[in-house]
Amino acid sequence: MKILAVMLLGCSIGIVLSATQVCAQDAAPSSGSKSVDKSPVTPADKNAPAYSGMYSFLKDGEFLQVTVEDGGNVTGYVSRFGDGESDNGAFLDQFFKNGKLDGNKLSFTTEIVHGVAFDFRGVFERGAGKNPGDEAYFVLKGSLSENVSDANKKVTSHSRDVVFKLFPQDAPPASGVRK
């Protein structure tokens, strides 16, 4: 029993010391010392919606990963099932060749993989999800062009209107002490 009490006391002291160090680090420096900004780098618009995430794609099991970076640059990729003779049913990743976000307007073009590339032009909108992290909290609506080139380098384009839903996201860990 004494060992358990000593261990609990040691943990409590460690927590108090850690909290004291954090508070001391957050305290404003004295007027005689140099000030160093240790604040994390954040996007220019702190009120910008968090559109980054994984969205549904054309078929079940396929998805679109979108990552919004500073300055409106967008990276990501499409993971889809191949439907050609040589890749039928194989899982293919097609990374964005370029991507841009302007407000809520998204455009991207994928690299060509097995003769297929995608062009997308559309907008992010609020979806049916009630809270951030819910399925379809955001949806991506727009026009998707599938560009297929054959063995003779002839490109055939097929456009369609699409709606991609944001997949549900894990909730952040609850604050507090675990027991």
CB 118 within 8 A of CB 145: yes
CB 134 within 8 A of CB 106: no
pTM of the model: 0.67
**Residue 158 — very low, low, confident or very high, per pLDDT cuts 50/70/90?**
very high
**Phi/psi at 47 (5° precision):** -90, 0
Lowest mean pLDDT among 61-65, 71-75, 124-128: 71-75
Instruction: For residue 22, give the 3-state DSSP assignment.
Output: helix
User: How is domain 53-165 classified at the CATH fold level?
Assistant: Lipocalin (2.40.128)
Average pLDDT over residues 129-133: 92
What percentage of the chain has pLDDT greater than the value 90?
55
